[in-house]
Amino acid sequence: MPAADDQRELELTIQTFDKYAQQYCDKFESYKPYIESYEKFAALFTPRHRQVLDAACGPGLFCRLLWQQIPRLDIKGIDLAPAMVNLARSNCPDAQFAVMDCRDLDQLDGRFDAIISAFCFPYLNQNEVTEFIRSAAEMLSVGGLLFISTMEGRYENSQFKRRSEDEGVLNYLYSESFISTTLIEQGFVVLDLFRQNYPLDNAEADTDLFVFARKTSGN
Protein backbone atom coordinates (compact mmCIF):
# COMPACT_ATOMS: atom_id res chain seq x y z
CA MET A 1 0.00 0.00 0.00
CA PRO A 2 1.62 3.32 -1.01
CA ALA A 3 1.92 5.56 2.07
CA ALA A 4 0.21 8.46 0.25
CA ASP A 5 -3.03 6.44 0.08
CA ASP A 6 -2.99 5.58 3.78
CA GLN A 7 -4.98 8.57 5.03
CA ARG A 8 -7.81 8.15 2.50
CA GLU A 9 -7.90 4.42 3.18
CA LEU A 10 -8.05 4.99 6.94
CA GLU A 11 -10.94 7.44 6.42
CA LEU A 12 -12.84 4.84 4.40
CA THR A 13 -12.05 2.21 7.03
CA ILE A 14 -13.49 4.36 9.82
CA GLN A 15 -16.51 5.30 7.68
CA THR A 16 -17.14 1.58 7.11
CA PHE A 17 -16.81 0.67 10.81
CA ASP A 18 -19.09 3.57 11.67
CA LYS A 19 -21.75 2.42 9.21
CA TYR A 20 -21.67 -1.22 10.33
CA ALA A 21 -21.03 -0.67 14.05
CA GLN A 22 -24.25 -2.38 15.18
CA GLN A 23 -23.70 -5.38 12.89
CA TYR A 24 -20.12 -5.66 14.19
CA CYS A 25 -21.38 -5.61 17.77
CA ASP A 26 -24.10 -8.21 17.08
CA LYS A 27 -21.61 -10.50 15.36
CA PHE A 28 -18.83 -10.39 17.94
CA GLU A 29 -20.63 -10.10 21.25
CA SER A 30 -21.14 -13.84 21.26
CA TYR A 31 -18.00 -14.88 19.33
CA LYS A 32 -16.49 -17.37 21.75
CA PRO A 33 -12.80 -17.32 20.73
CA TYR A 34 -12.59 -13.56 21.35
CA ILE A 35 -14.53 -13.75 24.61
CA GLU A 36 -12.13 -16.47 25.77
CA SER A 37 -9.14 -14.27 24.89
CA TYR A 38 -10.61 -11.45 27.03
CA GLU A 39 -11.15 -13.86 29.93
CA LYS A 40 -7.60 -15.16 29.65
CA PHE A 41 -6.24 -11.62 29.81
CA ALA A 42 -8.52 -10.68 32.73
CA ALA A 43 -7.07 -13.62 34.67
CA LEU A 44 -3.66 -11.85 34.66
CA PHE A 45 -5.01 -8.86 36.63
CA THR A 46 -4.00 -8.44 40.25
CA PRO A 47 -5.33 -5.81 42.71
CA ARG A 48 -2.57 -3.42 41.58
CA HIS A 49 -4.02 -3.26 38.04
CA ARG A 50 -6.68 -0.54 38.18
CA GLN A 51 -6.40 1.94 35.30
CA VAL A 52 -7.22 0.41 31.91
CA LEU A 53 -7.11 1.88 28.41
CA ASP A 54 -8.83 0.13 25.50
CA ALA A 55 -7.41 1.65 22.29
CA ALA A 56 -9.73 1.21 19.28
CA CYS A 57 -12.35 -0.17 21.67
CA GLY A 58 -15.04 -0.67 19.02
CA PRO A 59 -18.45 -1.33 20.66
CA GLY A 60 -16.84 -1.83 24.08
CA LEU A 61 -17.24 -5.61 24.32
CA PHE A 62 -13.81 -6.14 25.91
CA CYS A 63 -14.44 -3.25 28.36
CA ARG A 64 -17.82 -4.73 29.29
CA LEU A 65 -16.40 -8.15 30.07
CA LEU A 66 -13.49 -6.69 32.06
CA TRP A 67 -15.81 -4.50 34.07
CA GLN A 68 -18.22 -7.39 34.74
CA GLN A 69 -15.34 -9.54 35.97
CA ILE A 70 -13.42 -6.85 37.88
CA PRO A 71 -15.81 -4.00 38.78
CA ARG A 72 -13.18 -2.01 40.67
CA LEU A 73 -11.41 -1.14 37.38
CA ASP A 74 -11.26 2.39 36.03
CA ILE A 75 -11.71 1.90 32.28
CA LYS A 76 -11.19 4.36 29.44
CA GLY A 77 -11.85 3.53 25.79
CA ILE A 78 -11.10 5.40 22.58
CA ASP A 79 -12.14 4.79 18.99
CA LEU A 80 -12.27 6.92 15.84
CA ALA A 81 -15.75 5.77 14.77
CA PRO A 82 -18.46 7.77 16.62
CA ALA A 83 -21.07 5.00 16.25
CA MET A 84 -18.68 2.55 17.91
CA VAL A 85 -18.12 4.97 20.80
CA ASN A 86 -21.90 5.38 21.24
CA LEU A 87 -22.34 1.61 21.41
CA ALA A 88 -19.44 1.31 23.86
CA ARG A 89 -21.13 3.88 26.12
CA SER A 90 -24.33 1.86 26.23
CA ASN A 91 -22.56 -1.51 26.54
CA CYS A 92 -20.33 -0.36 29.40
CA PRO A 93 -21.89 2.71 31.08
CA ASP A 94 -19.37 2.68 33.92
CA ALA A 95 -16.39 3.34 31.66
CA GLN A 96 -15.41 6.59 29.92
CA PHE A 97 -15.25 6.71 26.14
CA ALA A 98 -14.04 9.27 23.62
CA VAL A 99 -13.76 9.61 19.86
CA MET A 100 -10.00 9.70 19.45
CA ASP A 101 -7.26 8.42 17.17
CA CYS A 102 -5.11 5.74 18.80
CA ARG A 103 -2.15 7.11 16.83
CA ASP A 104 -2.33 10.06 19.27
CA LEU A 105 -1.96 7.89 22.35
CA ASP A 106 0.73 10.12 23.81
CA GLN A 107 -1.81 12.98 24.04
CA LEU A 108 -3.74 11.10 26.73
CA ASP A 109 -3.14 12.16 30.28
CA GLY A 110 -2.35 9.68 32.95
CA ARG A 111 -0.79 6.38 33.50
CA PHE A 112 -2.32 2.96 32.91
CA ASP A 113 -1.90 -0.48 34.44
CA ALA A 114 -3.25 -2.27 31.38
CA ILE A 115 -3.59 -1.30 27.72
CA ILE A 116 -5.71 -3.21 25.22
CA SER A 117 -5.13 -3.18 21.50
CA ALA A 118 -7.67 -5.71 20.20
CA PHE A 119 -7.65 -5.85 16.39
CA CYS A 120 -6.38 -2.31 16.05
CA PHE A 121 -3.06 -3.10 14.32
CA PRO A 122 -4.80 -4.21 11.07
CA TYR A 123 -5.49 -0.48 10.58
CA LEU A 124 -2.02 0.85 11.48
CA ASN A 125 1.08 0.69 9.30
CA GLN A 126 4.38 -0.64 10.60
CA ASN A 127 5.70 2.75 11.79
CA GLU A 128 2.41 3.43 13.56
CA VAL A 129 2.47 0.04 15.30
CA THR A 130 6.05 0.65 16.48
CA GLU A 131 5.02 4.08 17.73
CA PHE A 132 1.91 2.64 19.45
CA ILE A 133 4.00 0.07 21.35
CA ARG A 134 6.56 2.76 22.28
CA SER A 135 3.79 5.05 23.62
CA ALA A 136 2.16 2.13 25.45
CA ALA A 137 5.49 1.38 27.16
CA GLU A 138 5.71 5.00 28.29
CA MET A 139 2.15 5.12 29.61
CA LEU A 140 2.15 1.79 31.43
CA SER A 141 3.30 1.39 34.99
CA VAL A 142 6.04 -1.18 35.58
CA GLY A 143 4.27 -4.53 35.76
CA GLY A 144 1.53 -3.13 33.50
CA LEU A 145 -0.16 -5.46 31.02
CA LEU A 146 -0.56 -5.14 27.26
CA PHE A 147 -3.07 -7.12 25.18
CA ILE A 148 -2.49 -7.34 21.44
CA SER A 149 -4.61 -9.22 18.93
CA THR A 150 -4.01 -8.86 15.23
CA MET A 151 -4.05 -10.71 11.93
CA GLU A 152 -0.92 -12.68 11.25
CA GLY A 153 0.79 -12.68 7.89
CA ARG A 154 3.51 -11.13 5.77
CA TYR A 155 3.48 -7.33 5.91
CA GLU A 156 4.14 -7.23 2.14
CA ASN A 157 0.77 -8.95 1.61
CA SER A 158 -1.15 -6.19 3.42
CA GLN A 159 -3.89 -4.66 1.30
CA PHE A 160 -6.87 -2.36 1.33
CA LYS A 161 -9.99 -4.51 0.98
CA ARG A 162 -12.37 -2.41 -1.06
CA ARG A 163 -16.07 -3.32 -0.96
CA SER A 164 -17.44 -0.45 -3.05
CA GLU A 165 -16.58 3.14 -3.99
CA ASP A 166 -17.18 4.38 -0.43
CA GLU A 167 -16.62 1.24 1.63
CA GLY A 168 -13.56 -0.80 2.46
CA VAL A 169 -11.13 -1.64 5.23
CA LEU A 170 -7.37 -1.57 5.65
CA ASN A 171 -5.89 -4.96 6.36
CA TYR A 172 -2.30 -4.75 7.56
CA LEU A 173 -0.76 -8.10 8.39
CA TYR A 174 1.98 -8.61 10.98
CA SER A 175 4.38 -11.43 11.71
CA GLU A 176 4.73 -12.76 15.23
CA SER A 177 8.47 -11.99 15.12
CA PHE A 178 7.86 -8.30 14.30
CA ILE A 179 5.41 -7.94 17.20
CA SER A 180 7.56 -9.86 19.70
CA THR A 181 10.80 -8.10 18.72
CA THR A 182 9.19 -4.66 18.97
CA LEU A 183 7.75 -5.52 22.38
CA ILE A 184 11.11 -6.70 23.72
CA GLU A 185 12.88 -3.59 22.33
CA GLN A 186 10.38 -1.43 24.26
CA GLY A 187 10.92 -3.18 27.60
CA PHE A 188 8.17 -5.80 27.54
CA VAL A 189 8.31 -9.50 28.28
CA VAL A 190 5.91 -11.73 26.35
CA LEU A 191 3.74 -13.66 28.82
CA ASP A 192 1.57 -15.62 26.42
CA LEU A 193 1.16 -16.01 22.69
CA PHE A 194 -1.40 -18.08 20.81
CA ARG A 195 -3.15 -18.28 17.46
CA GLN A 196 -6.66 -19.07 16.27
CA ASN A 197 -8.13 -19.63 12.84
CA TYR A 198 -10.74 -17.10 11.83
CA PRO A 199 -13.00 -18.88 9.30
CA LEU A 200 -13.94 -16.95 6.14
CA ASP A 201 -16.87 -17.66 3.83
CA ASN A 202 -15.14 -17.94 0.48
CA ALA A 203 -11.44 -18.10 1.27
CA GLU A 204 -8.82 -19.82 3.38
CA ALA A 205 -9.14 -18.97 7.09
CA ASP A 206 -7.24 -15.96 8.45
CA THR A 207 -4.91 -16.46 11.38
CA ASP A 208 -5.58 -14.33 14.45
CA LEU A 209 -2.53 -13.78 16.65
CA PHE A 210 -2.86 -12.97 20.37
CA VAL A 211 0.07 -11.65 22.42
CA PHE A 212 -0.04 -10.77 26.12
CA ALA A 213 2.94 -8.81 27.45
CA ARG A 214 4.10 -7.22 30.68
CA LYS A 215 6.18 -4.08 30.98
CA THR A 216 9.28 -4.96 32.95
CA SER A 217 11.49 -1.89 32.84
CA GLY A 218 11.43 1.91 32.58
CA ASN A 219 9.68 4.51 34.69
| Contacts with ligand SAM, residue ranges (CB under 6 A) | 14, 17, 28, 56-58, 61-62, 79-81, 84, 101-103, 118-120, 123
Q: Considering the complex, what minimum distance in angstroms separates the CB of residue 46 from ligand SAM?
A: 23
Separation CA 115–CA 180 (nearest Å): 16
Beta carbon nearer to ligand SAM, 28 or 160: 28
Separation CA 42–CA 113 (nearest Å): 12
Beta carbon nearer to ligand SAM, 62 or 188: 62
Q: Considering the complex, what minimum distance in angstroms separates the CB of residue 56 from ligand SAM?
A: 3
Beta carbon nearer to ligand SAM, 56 or 209: 56
Residue showing the smallest CB distance to ligand SAM in the complex: 58
Separation CA 149–CA 146 (nearest Å): 10
Residue 151, classed as helix, strand or coil, is strand
Q: Considering the complex, what minimum distance in angstroms separates the CB of residue 89 from ligand SAM?
A: 14
Alpha-carbon torsion 154, 159, 163, 167, what sign? positive
Beta carbon nearer to ligand SAM, 66 or 80: 80
Does residue 59 contact residue 21 with C-beta atoms inside 8 Å? yes
Q: In this structure, are strands 159-164 and 167-171 parallel, antiparallel, or unpaired?
A: antiparallel
Q: Considering the complex, what minimum distance in angstroms separates the CB of residue 165 from ligand SAM?
A: 20
Query: Would you mind telling me the total number of residues written for the chain in this entry?
Result: 219
Residue type, 128: E
Of 54, 103, 105, the residue nearest 76 (C-alpha): 54
Q: Considering the complex, what minimum distance in angstroms separates the CB of residue 59 from ligand SAM?
A: 7
Beta carbon nearer to ligand SAM, 33 or 93: 33
